[in-house]
Amino acid sequence: MRGMWRSLGPGSMLLAAAVGLAACGGGDRSASRYEASPNAKRYPLRGVVRAVKAGDESLSIAHEDIEGLMDAMTMDFHVQDPWVLKAAGPGDRITATLVLDGARSWLEGVALIRRVVASSPLLAIGGIDARNARAVAVAGSDGVAVVSALMTAPDPESAAVTLRREVDAGLCQRRSP
C-alpha cells in the first residue's frame, strides 16, 4: 500500500510514494460535495499540519503565503480524500491544491511528509520517475531512491541525468520564497 512509513533506524526514514497517495482512498462521502464547478479556482498550498479534526473532516494547517490569495497563517481546511484524516498528524509537512468554489473550499491532491526528527533526511522510494520526481522533492523529500525507472530506461545514464535534474529543480523550488 502506498504511503506506508517504515523506520530503518536512527537518522533515516523511507517514504513510499509521496505523490499519488490519493489511491489509498476510502470512505463513501458524497462526491458532489467535492466536485468543482467550471468557475472554481485552484491554488497550490504548502504548510505544516497543526491538528487533525476528523469530526469536521478538516486539518488545521499553518500554511505559507498562497500567491494571489492570502498571506501565511494557520487555518482549517476541509479535505477531499478521507485517507488524509487517517494518515495526517501534527508536524507533518503537507502540499495540496486549495480549491475555492463559491462559498465552498477544500484541499485535493494532498501529499504528506511525516515529521519524525528534524535532522533526519527523508528519502522517497517507490514509483519515482522523471514525471513525478520534482513533485516528490517539492513535497518535502530530501532525495529519491530509484531502481525501476533507471533499469527499464532505454538509456539509463540519460534517465539518471534527467531524474537528477528534476529532483534538483524540485529542491530549489521548495527552498525559494
Give the model's pLDDT for residue 8.
34
Domain assignment present for 76: yes
Cβ atoms < 10 Å from Cβ of 155: 10
Give the separation between CA 170 and CA 136, rounded to whole angstroms.
7
Q: Using one digit for the tens of pLDDT, what is the confidence trace for 19-35? A: 333 333 334 445 567 89
- Of 113, 134, 158, at which residue does a domain stop? 113
Indicate whether 54 and 103 sit together in one domain.
yes
Cβ atoms 15, 128 nearer than 8 A: no
**In Å, how far from its chain's centre is CA 77?**
15
Give the model's pLDDT for residue 24.
33
CB half-sphere exposure, 20, CA atoms < 13 A: 15
Indicate whether 44 and 102 sit together in one domain.
yes
Q: Is the pLDDT of residue 1 over 80?
A: no
Indicate whether 94 and 158 sit together in one domain.
no
Give the separation between CA 121 and CA 138, rounded to whole angstroms.
14
The mean-pLDDT minimum among 39-48, 62-71, 121-130 falls in 121-130
Which range, 55-59, 80-84, 134-138, has the best average confidence (pLDDT)? 55-59
Indicate whether 44 and 107 sit together in one domain.
yes
Amino acid at 6: R
- Of 76, 91, 113, at which residue does a domain stop? 113
Residues of the chain with pLDDT > 70, as a percent, come to: 78
Number of domains in the chain: 2
Q: What is the overall mean pLDDT for the chain? A: 80
The values of phi and psi at residue 45, to 5°, are: -130, 135
**Helical residues (DSSP H) of 41-121, grouped into ranges:** 82-87
Q: Is the pLDDT of residue 108 over 70?
A: yes
For 85, the domain range is: 38-113
Q: Using one digit for the tens of pLDDT, what is the confidence trace for 64-89? A: 999 999 999 999 999 998 889 988 88
The mean-pLDDT minimum among 42-46, 90-94, 118-122, 140-144 falls in 118-122
Tell me what the mean pLDDT of segment 108-130 comes to.
Answer: 79
Indicate whether 99 and 152 sit together in one domain.
no
Q: Is the pLDDT of residue 43 over 80?
A: yes
Is this prediction's pTM over 0.85?
no
Domain assignment present for 42: yes
